[in-house]
Amino acid sequence: MVGAFRSESAPKVSIRAWAPRRAKNGWKSAVQVVGIGDDAIFEAYAPSPCECQLFAMRMIRQSLVESEGRYSFGGEPFETLFPMYAPNSFGPEVQQEAEAAISEITDREIKRMHRELGRKYPNYPIRVD
C-alpha cells in the first residue's frame, strides 16, 4: 500500500500500487484507489518501467483530483502528494513547456509571498518589485 488519505467530510481512501512488470510491448503497472468510485484496478502501460510508474501515479492523482478536492494533504485544496509529470516519451518540447510554465508560476508565487512578508514585516530582508 502506498498511502491513505482521510478527510473530515469524506471516508478514508487507500492507495495501492504494484511494481511494474513486463508486458507484451513494454511494461505495465496496476494501481487502485479504494474509497473513491468503484475501487477498480487500473493498469498503466509504457515503454519503460519508470514511465509506467509515472503513468500509474498520474492515474492516482487524477482520481484524487476528480474527488473535487475532498481529499488533500495538509488542508491544501487539490494537494494530492502525487505531482504531475510530463514523461519524456511525450517529447522534449512538452517537457520544456511544462517546466517553463511551472517555473513561471512558481517564480510569480515566490515574489507574491515575499511582497506580503515585506509588507507585514518592515525589516524583512528580501525585497521584490
In 3D, which of 51, 58, 50 has the Cα closest to residue 15? Answer: 58
| From 13-27, 34-48, 78-92, the region with the lowest mean pLDDT | 78-92
Contact 56, 17 (CB under 8 A): yes
pLDDT value at residue 1: 43
Q: Is the pLDDT of residue 19 over 50?
A: yes
pLDDT value at residue 78: 66
**Is the domain of 31 the same as that of 49?**
yes
Contact 73, 79 (CB under 8 A): yes
**Is the domain of 57 the same as that of 102?**
no
More confident residue, 89 or 6: 89
What burial class does residue 103 get, using C-beta atoms within 10 Å of its C-beta: 0-12 exposed, 13-18 middle, 19+ buried?
Answer: exposed
3-state secondary structure string, 31-95? EEEECCCCCCEEEEEECCHHHHHHHHHHHHHHHHHCCCCCCCCCCCCCCCCCCCCCCHHHCHHHH
Q: In terms of residue numbers, what domain contains 59? A: 3-83
**Is the domain of 18 the same as that of 67?**
yes
85 backbone dihedrals φ, ψ, rounded to 5°: -125, 150
Phi-psi region of 107 (alpha: psi -120 to 50; beta: other; left: phi over 0): alpha
Residue that has been written with the C-alpha cell 519508470 in this structure: 50
Mean pLDDT of 2-12: 59
Please give the Cα distance from 79 to 61 (Å, whole number). Answer: 9
**Is the domain of 55 the same as that of 96?**
no
**Is the domain of 38 the same as that of 54?**
yes
Mean pLDDT of 58-87: 73
